[in-house]
């Protein structure tokens, strides 16, 4: 993730990316927070400033994670359906 952030926003120093990566790990461990990506985006805005590129990048990463979860779920469901269909045939 740090490498992705660095290529998307090369003007920020590496120490910011390391700090944001550590904060993302901390936020991901918070219990009872339904949308951790929004919390992380808010922290980014507070620390770095209201640079829309940071918020856009955080939203893109969250979208990619969501799409990957949906693809894995669809693949596993498809595999389960095919296995169930093959077991049902005599």
Confidence class for position 6, pLDDT limits 50, 70, 90: confident
Which of 23-32, 36-45, 50-59 bottoms out in mean pLDDT, i.e. has the lowest? 50-59
Q: What is the mean pLDDT of residues 70-79?
A: 97
Q: Classify residue 49 as left (phi > 0), alpha (psi -120 to 50) or beta.
A: left
Report the alpha-carbon distance of residue 64 to residue 80 in Å, rounded: 24
pLDDT at 1 over 80: no
pLDDT at 63 over 90: no
pLDDT at 78 over 80: yes
């Amino acid at each position: 993730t740090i490498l992705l952030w660095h290529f998307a926003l090369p003007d920020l120093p590496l120490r910011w990316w390391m700090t944001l990566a550590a904060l993302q790990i901390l936020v991901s461990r918070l219990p009872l927070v339904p949308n951790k990506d929004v919390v992380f985006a808010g922290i980014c805005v507070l620390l770095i400033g209201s640079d829309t590129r940071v918020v856009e990048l955080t939203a893109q990463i969250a979208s990619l994670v969501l799409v990957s979860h949906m693809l894995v779920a669809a693949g596993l469901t498809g595999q389960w359906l095919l296995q169930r269909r093959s077991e049902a045939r005599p």
